Structure 1
Amino acid sequence: MTPTLTADQVGAPLGARATLLQVSSAFCAPCRAAHRVLARVADAVPGVRHVDVDVADGPELAAALAVTSTPTVVVLDAAGAVVLRAEGVPTPRQVLGALALAVPEGSPSS
């Protein structure tokens, strides 16, 4: 069964089409790089939201996702279902590929 997360669990509204959920830590240099990539993609793709949660502020979420290293990136579809999960800094191409899995062809872009 694919895990599903709610806006309450994430701590922010989910994107209309998809959510790029990043679990980070304060002193993590790769987390800052991942944040830049994910924020850029979210700004460029309508209906996609980037949410960055620090493990210290969201230990329940980190535990639910079994986060063992930061950054951990989780792509959620519009309903909050986990479509893809990865550790480390993704490339924009990898993020766009993951969004293709999360956003069905022909879905609204709002």
Structure 2
Amino acid sequence: MDRTTDAQRLDASQLGAELGTRATLVQFSTAFCQPCRATRRTLAEVAGMVEGVAHVEIDAEARLALVRTLDIRATPTVLVLDARGTVVRRATGQPRTVDVVAALGRAI
């Protein structure tokens, strides 16, 4: 999880899913993206370990307006949101579990 972003806030209606009570891991994926599968497993595992953290996966091809709004340029892209839905970290590529946990520390 390497890059922070300007304070941008997302809500459940934009994501199509409820936010976590403490933080939300938002993953943008595409159907044929091999690293997206591994990213899905990593984020789901971390969300399962930390109470109040949700994992939301978004099909980038189906949500092009949101992709453009958030300037998503590659998959997988992961956004870490705090409890209010503010983007606190952003990274592209397959994350390591330790990096996701560290990014959550900033969100929580």
> What TM-score comes out, normalization by structure 2 length?
0.93
1:18 and 2:18 equivalent? Answer: no
Matched, 1:85 2:90: yes
Tell me, in whole angstroms, the C-alpha distance in 2 between the residues paired with 1:24 and 1:74.
12
Quick one: distance in 2 between partners of 1:98 and 1:58?
25
Name structure 2 gaps, 5 residues minimum: 1-5
The alignment covers a number of residue pairs equal to: 103
SS in 2 for 1:67: coil
Once the two structures are superposed, the pairs formed by residues 25-64 of structure 1 within 5 Å of their partners are 25-64=30-69
Tell me which amino acid in the other structure corresponds to 1:28: C
Structure 1 runs (4+) deviating above 6 angstroms are none
Alignment correspondent of 1:74: 79
Aligned partners of 1:89 and 1:39: how far apart in 2? 13
**Which residue of structure 1 lines up, in the alignment, with residue 99 of structure 2?**
94
Q: Is structure 2 residue 36 aligned with structure 1 residue 8?
A: no
How many angstroms does 1:56 deviate by? 1.7
Give 1:65's match in structure 2, choosing from 48, 51, 70: 70
Structure 2 distance, partners of 1:57, 1:46, is 29
CA-CA distance at 1:61 after TM superposition: 1.6
Percent identity of equivalent pairs: 50
TM-score by length of 1: 0.91
One-letter amino acid of the counterpart of residue 27, structure 2: Q
